[in-house]
Amino acid sequence: MSQTDQRTSLDGPSPAPVPAPGPAPAGRPADPGASAEPAIQITDVSKTFGKGQSATVALDGVSLSVAPGEFVCLIGASGCGKSTLLSLVAGLEAPTSGTVSSGGRRVAFMFQEPALFPWYTAAQNVALPLRANGVGRKERQKRVRDLLESVHLGGFADKRPHELSGGMRQRVALARALAQDAEVLLMDEPFGALDAMTRDLLHELLEGIWRRQGFSVLFVTHEVREAVRLGDRVVLLSSRPGRVLEDFGIGIERPRGIDSGQTVERALQIKEKLNEEVMRHVS
Ligand SMILES: Nc1ncnc2c1ncn2[C@@H]1O[C@H](COP(=O)(O)OP(=O)(O)OP(=O)(O)O)[C@@H](O)[C@H]1O
Ligand SMILES: [Mg+2]
């Protein structure tokens, strides 16, 4: 049986209307694994695109769960199905077999490209999901102000995307995703196009907001060090078709430096496994 039962709103050009926000998460649980019900439960999921000779098996028997408040990073070779897995969790695609559930939680999606409306200001872009949720004008203005402040863009509310740097645009996209009051944030290589310094700042910013607000994150990246910098766990997918090869717990104290000895050492161990898998596939 295939099933997706989450409500999804998108950080993309056509944000789907989402139900009115419920109470905000009460904060990050001390032990995310202690909660009985996972925020995301992926069970024995396979996904095939197309039919017959031209069919592509993108995912094969993937099982993975993410606890409330947990930050899980997904790595794997290009084409192994990472984006496909996020699309399944977001409900943009349906699994061919298996089940995907986020227990009715609000899910937001942030892509590598910020996908802002060019004719809207930063504030208007961030306001979109609030409008879709029927948040009144006054409350909306306050929320937008707070959200832009939270990503350190308080002074840029009236700028249009072309007047902002790449890092600023990505921060507007983050604020827009946060405006959805999501309990699950899906991020597909959101900082991949940024320079190292801007990316470091955004790691810090995202980590701070995540720790305060307590949502769950499923974060796709090519960068093993970025995964170790951010994740409570780093999940390695096999080359296509994607399967879970290994699930690494990252027990390094936060906040972590992307260039700290511990991060680099752990990333090297994981990278070795990733390289083995890539070499196994090409040889
Ligand atoms: N809509 C689609 N129709 C047909 N094939 C698709 C579709 N989406 C993805 N695929 C195929 O599924 C496989 C997995 O793609 P996916 O985009 O999930 O990989 P990925 O791990 O995100 O890769 P990358 O790291 O390069 O972003 C690829 O072979 C891709 O061609
Ligand atoms: Mg991808």
- Residues contacting residue 283 through CB under 8 Å, at least 6 positions apart: none
Q: Strand 40-49 and strand 56-66: pairing?
A: antiparallel
> Does 82 sit in the ligand 1 pocket, CB within 6 Å?
yes
Q: 150, 165, 181 — which closes off a domain?
A: 181
* Shortest-distance atom of ligand 1 to CA 76: 21
Specify whether 186 is located in the same domain as 205: yes
H-state helical runs in the chain: 82-90, 122-132, 137-150, 166-178, 196-213, 224-230, 261-282
21: in domain: no
pLDDT score at 4:
43
C-alpha 159 – ligand 1 centre gap (Å): 34
Strand partners, 97: 46
At 53, list the tokens: 């000779």
Specify whether 196 is located in the same domain as 215: yes
Whether pTM exceeds 0.75: yes
Specify whether 99 is located in the same domain as 223: yes
> Does 78 sit in the ligand 1 pocket, CB within 6 Å?
yes
What is residue 168's three-state secondary structure? helix
What average pLDDT score do residues 26-52 get?
76
> Does 56 sit in the ligand 1 pocket, CB within 6 Å?
yes
Which residues keep their CB under 5 angstroms from ion ligand 2? 83
Q: What share of the chain is helix, strand, coil (3-state, %, to 5)?
A: 35, 25, 40
Nearest residue by C-alpha to atom 4 in ligand 1: 49
Task: Read off the CATH number of the domain in which 99 is found.
Answer: 3.40.50.300
Q: Confirm if 130 and 140 have CB atoms less than 8 A apart.
A: yes
Specify whether 204 is located in the same domain as 161: no
> Does 240 sit in the ligand 1 pocket, CB within 6 Å?
yes
Percent of the chain with pLDDT over 90: 73
Kindly list the strands in the beta sheet with 71-75, ordered across the sheet, starting from the edge strand earlier in the chain: 7-10, 106-110, 184-188, 216-220, 71-75, 233-237, 244-249
Q: CA angle at residue 17 from 13 to 21, to 5 degrees?
A: 120
pLDDT score at 72:
98
Average pLDDT, the chain: 87
Q: 181, 198, 229 — which closes off a domain?
A: 181
> Does 81 sit in the ligand 1 pocket, CB within 6 Å?
yes
Tell me: pLDDT of 12 over 50. Answer: no
Q: Which residue has the tokens 């960068």?
A: 223
The residue that leads in pLDDT, 3 or 277, is 277
Specify whether 3 is located in the same domain as 95: yes
Nearest residue by C-alpha to atom 27 in ligand 1: 78
C-alpha 49 – ligand 1 centre gap (Å): 9
Residue 233 gets the label, from left (phi > 0), alpha (psi -120 to 50) or beta, of beta
Nearest residue by C-alpha to atom 20 in ligand 1: 79
pLDDT score at 281:
78
Q: Looking at the CA of 77, which ligand is closest? A: 1
H-state helical runs in 51-136: 82-90, 122-132
Q: How far apart are CA 278 and CA 283, in angstroms?
A: 9
User: Per-residue pLDDT tens for 154-195?
Assistant: 999 999 999 999 999 999 999 999 999 899 999 999 998 888
C-alpha 227 – ligand 2 centre gap (Å): 15
Tell me: pLDDT of 243 over 70. Answer: yes
Tell me: pLDDT of 218 over 90. Answer: yes
Tell me: pLDDT of 113 over 70. Answer: yes
Domain extent for 146:
117-181
Q: Looking at the CA of 79, which ligand is closest? A: 1
Specify whether 215 is located in the same domain as 189: yes
Percent of the chain with pLDDT over 70: 87
Q: Looking at the CA of 87, which ligand is closest? A: 1
> Does 47 sit in the ligand 1 pocket, CB within 6 Å?
no
17 to each of 108, 133, 138, 192, how far by Cα in Å?
A: 12, 6, 20, 28
pLDDT-derived band at 283, boundaries 50, 70, 90? low
Tell me: pLDDT of 30 over 60. Answer: no
At 93, list the tokens: 């695609």
Specify whether 280 is located in the same domain as 143: no
278 to each of 17, 177, 188, how far by Cα in Å?
A: 40, 33, 20
Specify whether 275 is located in the same domain as 206: yes
